[in-house]
Amino acid sequence: MSQVIYKLGDDISTDIIYPGRYMATVLPTETPQFAFADIIKLNERLNTKPVPPGSIIVGGKNFGYGSSREQAVSTLKGHEIIIIARNFARIFFQNSVNLGLQIITCPDIEANEGDALDIRAEEVVNKTNGKSFRIEPIPKARQAIVEAGGLIAYTRKRVMEKASMR
């Protein structure tokens, strides 16, 4: 069971997630401090009160639209949070898979800050309001990449498996 630490609306751009003025900082170990830098309450929560891995941010439609900057994903990955949104922008979605960020497309999600959510294989159950919401599954090949920790980790794993077969 995970808790919603923040709820966002529709059309959250990559510039909201990781403002362009921080683009000189690109190392995944340094980018997390700038997550949602202009949403002061959320940024402070992420940086001053460490949130447990698996905590959730809920978004609306078109989460992650805008530029293709990977830092918008790595900044979230650095906090090991889960993003549940009604849908995701295409490039953000693929960057999330490539970097191993757990994202969940849940078109009808209803959740507020503080709600306890149980993420299951095919649905998200909001334990606070008692409602269940269908998940749009990620294709199995992409899910395997996310579960491995991202594309580099997945590729490394596959190369090692093939090498051990020889």
- Rounded distance, CA 55 to CA 17, Å? 16
Q: Could you tell me the residue range of the domain that residue 83 belongs to?
A: 2-137
Distance (Å, whole) CA 43 – CA 147: 26
At 155, is the pLDDT very low, low, confident or very high (cuts 50, 70, 90)? very high
Asked if residue 149 belongs to a domain, the reply is no
Percent of the chain having pLDDT more than 90? 86
Contacts of 56 (CB under 8 A, 6+ apart): 2, 3, 4, 5, 81, 82, 83, 84, 111, 117
Which token pair is 65?
């639209």
Domain count, the chain: 1
Domain membership flag for residue 45 = yes
Which domain CATH number covers 90? 3.20.19.10
pLDDT tens, position by position, 122-145:
999 999 999 999 999 999 999 999
- Please report whether residue 144 resides in a domain: no
Burial of 85 by CB count in 10 Å (0-12 exposed, 13-18 middle, 19+ buried)?
buried
Ranking 32-36, 50-54, 103-107 by mean pLDDT, the lowest is 50-54
